[in-house]
Homo-oligomer: A and B are copies of this chain.
């Protein structure tokens, strides 16, 4: 019983982590993060870049904000969003490494098959 169901005891901890990662786990949101890393942008600018309904973009931004990844600043009619946590960018290097390794394995398999 000692090691069993260890997860139950740490569930809340991992749920918090998962919230952050869920916020990142969407192509549009990852794109938005990269854009905001360059420069703060208003919702309408992001809508033009992304090309979907502004309400959709707004929801993506709310999700990122609730996760603590971006912050917003109101200026007149517009709301400008900017990146709150720059360390996420470093993580993408790791993600790229995973993708690269994956492709290498795929090509190795193809060579073997040929």
> Measuring CB to CB, which residues of chain A are less than 8 angstroms from any residue of chain B?
3-8, 10-11, 14-18, 20-22, 24-28, 30-31, 48-51, 67-69, 84-85, 87-88, 90-99, 101-102, 105
Contact = CB atoms under 8 A, between A and B. Distances in A.
A52 to B, nearest CB: 8
A5 B49 contact: yes
B17 A67 contact: no
A31 B50 contact: no
B51 A31 contact: no
B5 A48 contact: yes
Contacts of A21: 21, 24-25, 30, 95
A67 B25 contact: no
A91 B51 CA distance: 30
Given A85-B98, A91-B94, A99-B17, A25 B25 contact: yes
Given A3-B48, A14-B27, A17-B96, 18 more contacts: A4-B48, A4-B49, A5-B48, A6-B49, A7-B51, A16-B99, A17-B95, A18-B25, A18-B26, A18-B30, A20-B98, A20-B99, A68-B102, A85-B94, A87-B93, A88-B94, A90-B91, A90-B94
